[in-house]
Amino acid sequence: MQRSTPSGKAPEPRDNFLLAALADAQRDRWVPGLELVDLPLAKVLIAPGGNTTHVYFPTTAIVSLLYVMENGASAEIAVVGNEGLVGISLFMGGQSTSSSAVVQAAGQAWRLRADLLMEEFNRGGPVLHLLLRYTQALITQMAQTSVCNRHHALDQQFCRWLLLTLDRLRASDIVMTQELLSNILGVRRASVTEVAGKLQKDGLIRYERGHIQVLDRPGLERRSCECYAVVKKEYDRLLPDIKAT
């Protein structure tokens, strides 16, 4: 059953900006196979090594792409929201991936069977080019995240992550478990508490366990490193017709 969005509007495929960017004829071929699904916090959509049977086009949910080490340690390599899709390994030459996709902010997404996406992808033309441009933007985010994690302070990384998340939300509040946040940033929970406390002291956010409210976005942008701006610029260049909320 479809639920209304926070604005009271019934969900529709155009709530995902990749789907909205398709021509009507292309999107209409997918509509019968699109299924609106609820994505609860911390749900694993794709596990390492697992076959990709569906792709997800988030609308109100946000998904973290995480790499998990053998010892259980993990770190986020990219974030996907209403600007993109989860499951690019499907059309990049393989049915599986070494990373996992975990819901970091609960919400909804449109789910599509893998064979339906591949049928349209193999037609070539606008769908293929759109998905490849999106993939290039996502790869840029992954590369910049790696550089950021290596060279920038934790508070800068945290600000970058907050800004990327805000771009994909319809609100300024983020609800997340402390455990998931520490996994995303690849640090101990105590480190998350410490850096969040600093940002709260400086009036940028209000932080309680499992809940972050952004109070000063311009301040976060000034506090962040250049990595957020690099990623945003590349998304805007490659996907000029797609604008996250």
Q: Is 70 exceeded by the pLDDT of residue 242?
A: no
pLDDT in tens, 115-141: 999 999 998 888 999 999 999 999 999
Identify the three-state secondary structure at position 96.
coil
* pLDDT for 6: 52
191-200: Cβ within 8 A, 24+ apart: 191/154, 192/158, 195/154, 195/155, 195/158, 196/158, 198/155, 199/155, 199/158, 199/159, 199/223
User: How do strand 205-208 and strand 74-80 relate by DSSP bridges?
Assistant: unpaired
The least confident of 70-74, 121-125, 176-180, 219-223 is 70-74
- Give the global pTM: 0.88
Q: What is the CATH code of the structural domain delimited by 13-149+232-238?
A: 2.60.120.10
* pLDDT for 4: 46
Cα 91–chain centre separation? 18
Residue spans of the domains in the chain: they are 13-149+232-238, 152-229
Per-residue pLDDT averaged across 73-93, rounded? Answer: 89
Quote the CA–CA distance of 190 and 153 in Å, as a whole number: 15
Do 13-149+232-238 and 152-229 have matching folds? no
Q: What is the CATH code of the structural domain delimited by 152-229?
A: 1.10.10.10
Quote the CA–CA distance of 160 and 226 in Å, as a whole number: 9
